[in-house]
Amino acid sequence: MDNRSVGSRQARDLLRVAFGPSVVALGVIAAVTLIQLLIANSDMTGAFGAIASMWLGVHQVPVSIGGRELGVMPLLPVLLMVWGTARTTAAAAARSSWFVIRWVVASALGGPLLIAAIALAVIHDASSVITELQTPDASRAFAGVLAVHAIGALIGVAMTGRLLTLPWIPRWLPDALRAAATGVLALLGLSGVVAAGSIIVHWGTMHELFGITDSMFGQFSLALLSVLYIPNVLVGTAAVAVGSSAHIGLANFSSFTVLGGDIPAVPVLAAAPTPPLGPIWVALLIVAAVSAVALGQQCARRPEPLPIAAAKLTVAAALSAVTMALLGYAGGGRLGNFGDVGVDQTTFGPAVFVWFLSIGGLTVAMAGGLVRRPKPVKPVPVPGPEGDADEDAITDVVDLEPPADTIVLGDPSVFDDPVFDDPVFDSPDEPTPPAPVVFPDDAGFDARFDSEFDPEEHFMVDGDIGDTTAQRRPEQDD
Phi/psi zone of residue 368: left (φ > 0), alpha (ψ -120 to 50 degrees), beta? Answer: left
C-alpha distances (whole Å) from 189 to each of 122, 184, 230, 285, 473 are 39, 8, 12, 14, 133
Last residue of a domain, one of 376, 399, 420: 376
Which DSSP helix (H) or strand (E) runs through 258? Answer: strand 258-259
What pLDDT, on the 0 to 100 scale, is given for residue 355? 94
Do 185 and 278 fall into the same domain? Answer: yes
DSSP 8-state symbol, 370:
B
Which residues face 465 on adjacent strands?
none
Q: What is the dihedral of CA 258, 232, 63, 120, to 10 degrees?
A: 160
What pLDDT, on the 0 to 100 scale, is given for residue 386? 53
Do 178 and 87 fall into the same domain? Answer: no
Q: What is the pTM of this model?
A: 0.74
Q: Is residue 86 part of a domain?
A: yes
Do 333 and 211 fall into the same domain? Answer: yes
Q: What is d(CA 59, CA 438) in angstroms, rounded to the nearest whole number? A: 125
What pLDDT, on the 0 to 100 scale, is given for residue 154? 92
What pLDDT, on the 0 to 100 scale, is given for residue 398? 46
3-state SS class at 419: helix
Q: What is the DSSP string of 131-182?
A: TTEEPPPHHHHHHHHHHHHHHHHHHHHHHTT-GGGSTTS-TTHHHHHHHHHH
Do 198 and 290 fall into the same domain? Answer: yes
Domain count, the chain: 3
The answer to whether the beta carbons of residues 160 and 90 sit under 8 Å apart is yes
What pLDDT, on the 0 to 100 scale, is given for residue 359? 94
Tens-of-pLDDT digits for all 478 residues of the chain? Answer: 455 555 677 788 888 998 989 999 999 998 888 887 777 666 677 788 888 989 999 998 988 877 677 888 899 999 999 999 999 999 888 877 888 889 999 999 999 999 999 999 998 888 877 777 788 888 999 999 999 999 999 999 988 877 777 777 888 888 899 999 999 999 999 999 999 988 888 888 888 888 887 778 788 888 888 999 999 999 999 999 998 999 888 888 888 888 877 888 888 888 888 777 666 666 778 899 999 999 999 999 888 888 899 999 999 999 999 999 999 999 888 887 788 888 998 999 999 999 999 999 999 999 888 887 766 666 766 665 554 545 444 444 444 455 555 554 545 554 455 544 555 444 455 555 555 555 454 445 455 545 555 555 555 555 555 554 444 444 444 4
Which residues face 251 on adjacent strands?
248
The answer to whether the beta carbons of residues 414 and 407 sit under 8 Å apart is yes
Do 254 and 332 fall into the same domain? Answer: yes
Do 81 and 33 fall into the same domain? Answer: yes
Last residue of a domain, one of 169, 198, 230: 169
Last residue of a domain, one of 144, 169, 194: 169
What pLDDT, on the 0 to 100 scale, is given for residue 474? 46
Q: Is residue 385 part of a domain?
A: no
Do 344 and 414 fall into the same domain? Answer: no
Residues spanned by the domain of 280? 170-376
Phi and psi at 5, nearest 5°, equal: -70, 165
Do 154 and 176 fall into the same domain? Answer: no
Q: Which amino acid is at 365?
A: A
Q: Across the beta sheet with 68-70, what order do the strands follow?
A: 133-134, 63-65, 68-70, 333-335, 339-343, 245-248, 251-254, 258-259
Q: What is d(CA 72, CA 251) in angstroms, rounded to the nearest whole number? A: 16
The total number of residues shown for the chain amounts to 478
Q: Is residue 308 part of a domain?
A: yes
Do 75 and 192 fall into the same domain? Answer: no
Do 370 and 411 fall into the same domain? Answer: no
Q: Is residue 396 part of a domain?
A: no
What pLDDT, on the 0 to 100 scale, is given for residue 397? 45
The answer to whether the beta carbons of residues 73 and 58 sit under 8 Å apart is yes
> CB under 8 Å to 142, separation ≥6 — which residues?
113, 116, 117
Do 453 and 363 fall into the same domain? Answer: no
Do 135 and 227 fall into the same domain? Answer: no
